Structure 1
Amino acid sequence: MKREPRICIAGMGAIGSLLAASLSSRPVNLSLVARGETLRTLQQNGLTCRKDGQVTTFRVSADIRAPDEIQDVILLAGKAHHLPDLVQTIRHAVGPETCVVPVVNGVPWWLLPQLGIGPEAVARVNGILDPENRLSALPPTCIVGCVAYAFARVEKPGEVSVEGPSRFVIGDAVGGSNTQARTVMGWLGEKDTLFQISTDMKTEIWNKLSLNVATNFLSVLCETTLEGLVTDAAIRPLVSRCLSEILMLGQACSIERLFPVPKGMEIISAGGTHATSMLQDFHAGRPLELAALGDVIIALGRHKSVPLTTTETLLGLTRYASTRRNTTHTKGTLHVH
């Protein structure tokens, strides 16, 4: 009899909670890594998911680190700046055949050597993402790249709201055989509709990156939805310029089959009244993913001599807004939302 696959999800934000809710009803040995109030809620009350007008609570196994046994699949679902610490909670559970799937926005550390920038530049840029080389210590052959298309929000610790269908595109980080990605699909079920395999993860990641860069900074600065970003006459040109800049940078990195700016605008508009993850983090007082979505992009642009004037300006303004939120002045309190 085939045993149940051991699957661990590390990081219980919106995406990690969505994945946990999706996998909890499947025949898998699922474990979750969380901390603080979220961990206490998961252990005492379970995970609550609100979707399509229904509320479901799942009993889950959660702890501050992965189980003390080798896992078949580990999904790293934290923000990019959390990954170096998060990987410390699962390293002991990574075996020779474990598939590690980082589900993050921005440029992942493992993609840098594939962008044609040379080893010195790779090391320099990687220092932004992984200053202590904790992520780089993972064997590249165990990494399965992932791009998430999902609308989810943590309402409170242990409770997530999901709107619409979700889709996670996966593919091997190195090589074109997708051996590891097919292994993941084998553990999850060959007819899985939540996960889809791509033969070109570099393009998948860059296309999603362009959408993130073009919307996240502006969503914080303008406090508007995805639809609002492309329907407002004053904001729309800035979105278009960001898409164009990231497209040019991708082409300079020899990435093929990138979608054109009009297609990007169409995809963003289809997001409707959803708020970006960065705007959610901003309102909640959480750190923003400025390094993975901004600093790394600017560093790559300088190395490739691709001007990213609009992107760099919006990044700087967003960093200022983040620093100044809830700052108290002698003449009162300035609230930057």
Structure 2
Amino acid sequence: MKIAVVGAGAIGGYLGAKLARAGEEVTFIARNRNLEAINARGFRLILEDGTEEHAPTARAVQHMAEAGPQDAVLITLKAHQVRDVLPGLRELFGPKTMVVTMINGIPWWYFHKLAGPYEGRRLDSVDPGGVIAEHIEPERIIGSVVYPASELVEPGVVKVIEGNRFTLGELDGGRSERIDALSQTMMRAGFKAPVSRDIRSELWVKLWGNLSFNPISALTHATLEQICRFGPTRALAASMMREAQTVAEALGVRFKITLEQRIAGAEAVGAHKTSMLQDVEHGRALELEALVGSVVELGRITGTPTPTIDAVYAATSLLSSTLTAQRGRLAVQPLG
């Protein structure tokens, strides 16, 4: 299978390297030092047990036209970065190209092919003006939920922290030949790639933690373990999650695990810094709208109050605005 990975970072590198090692024709869309490193040395993975794997056949290009039409395009960017790649993205499309959205949070396509009163509605928080939807036909899209945690430790090198599951789903809940083929391809590469008949409910289970733990960690500079073991922040996360559950259930979502099970799962990850905290520490733009602002918007759409989420969203938005205006970063440093 010809596969383009748009975003050669922590998740994209993990996926692309494994797929290349399994014999797929993988092309990374990359820039700068990452581009140079991949083309010079391939891609290297440091696995959970410390062993290493090398994908020498992986190649990288900067311009999508150099890659040409693909069987599958894996978008592994952060949600706010998708608009930046739209001008060249169609160079990767052939008549049957799948676009697999491996992005955290509520996706721009959430209401596409969703039967009910909100079908076709646009989410301004994640796709202002509907620009993304105009560039990527919903028929191409396959949804995905990304469960692994990994880190780009240097150009062309990803360290896997934990996990290997990527749930896949057609937007209409159907089962198709193409999604089965993609699932089989990913499983041959060593991933768990189950096909869900209800990808939105799967998305909400992941989002349940992201919408709470990410902004709380950005504001407090605490790890998942610390947030879950400190009574007030555990209660704050739980309050946000209860509000989000009410919003989701108003949209027809059903949660297969309990709130306490979801918090326990986050605590079990240990002393891990969320992606939003890492972005604060490195001065990068925060993935705030897809993870939190979208839930605020969905609350308004469904007429569901979200006071706790609103308050945390406001505080984190100000932090994001301040860091952007100052072109700064913020990290806790030991004295002396």
TM-score by length of 1: 0.88
Q: Which residue of 2 aligns with 1:92?
A: 91
1:223-259 superposed Cα distances (whole Å, 9 cap, x missing partner): 1111111111121100101110110000111112453
Matched to 1:104, the amino acid is: I
Q: Which residue of 2 aligns with 1:49?
A: 45
Equivalent-residue separation in structure 1 for 2:37 and 2:105 (angstroms)? 30
Contact 1:140 1:174 in 2 (8 A): no
Q: Which residue of 1 aligns with 2:209?
A: 211
1:73-126 superposed Cα distances (whole Å, 9 cap, x missing partner): 110000001112224333122122211101001111111242855368x23x24
Q: Is the partner of 1:97 in helix, strand or coil? A: coil
1:184-242 superposed Cα distances (whole Å, 9 cap, x missing partner): 12444569543221121011011111111011000111111111111111211001011
1:186–1:335 Cα change, 3 Å: closer
Equivalent-residue separation in structure 2 for 1:304 and 1:224 (angstroms)? 32
Q: Which residue of 1 aligns with 2:235?
A: 237
> 1:68: how far off?
4.4
Equivalent-residue separation in structure 2 for 1:294 and 1:85 (angstroms)? 21
Q: Which residue of 2 aligns with 1:62?
A: 60
1:68–1:40 Cα change, 3 Å: closer
> 1:157: how far off?
2.6
Q: Which moved more, 1:50-59 or 1:162-171?
A: 50-59
Structure 2 unaligned segments of length 5 or more: list them.
Answer: none
Contact 1:325 1:336 in 2 (8 A): no
Matched to 1:238, the amino acid is: L
Contact 1:172 1:179 in 2 (8 A): no
> 1:46: how far off?
2.8
Contact 2:217 2:273 in 1 (8 A): yes
Q: Which residue of 2 aligns with 1:111?
A: 110
Q: Which moved more, 1:83-92 or 1:27-36?
A: 83-92
Q: Which residue of 2 aligns with 1:185?
A: 183
1:7 counterpart = 2:15: no
Q: Is the partner of 2:110 in helix, strand or coil? A: helix
Correspondence for 1:293 among 291, 294, 316:
291
Q: Which residue of 2 aligns with 1:33?
A: 29
> 1:180: how far off?
3.1
Q: Which residue of 1 aligns with 2:153?
A: 155
Q: Which moved more, 1:75-84 or 1:138-147?
A: 138-147
Equivalent-residue separation in structure 2 for 1:278 and 1:178 (angstroms)? 35
Correspondence for 2:282 among 275, 281, 284:
284
Q: What is the number of residues matched between the two proteins? A: 327
Matched to 1:85, the amino acid is: D
Equivalent-residue separation in structure 2 for 1:255 and 1:150 (angstroms)? 23
> 1:6: how far off?
0.6
1:189–1:213 Cα change, 3 Å: closer
Equivalent-residue separation in structure 2 for 1:86 and 1:258 (angstroms)? 35
Q: Is the partner of 2:74 in helix, strand or coil? A: strand
Equivalent-residue separation in structure 2 for 1:239 and 1:97 (angstroms)? 42
> 1:32: how far off?
0.5
Contact 1:281 1:288 in 2 (8 A): yes
> 1:131: how far off?
3.3
Equivalent-residue separation in structure 2 for 1:10 and 1:302 (angstroms)? 32
Structure 1 unaligned segments of length 5 or more: list them.
Answer: none
Matched to 1:159, the amino acid is: V
Two-structure CA RMSD over aligned residues (Å): 2.4
TM-score by length of 2: 0.89
Q: Which moved more, 1:46-55 or 1:222-231?
A: 46-55
Q: Is the partner of 1:20 in helix, strand or coil? A: helix
Matched to 1:141, the amino acid is: E
> 1:162: how far off?
0.7
Would you tell me which structure has more strand in proportion to its own residues?
Answer: 1
Contact 1:84 1:130 in 2 (8 A): no
1:37-90 superposed Cα distances (whole Å, 9 cap, x missing partner): 222222233323222212344332101133443211110000001112224333
Contact 1:50 1:160 in 2 (8 A): yes
Matched to 1:25, the amino acid is: R
1:188–1:213 Cα change, 3 Å: closer
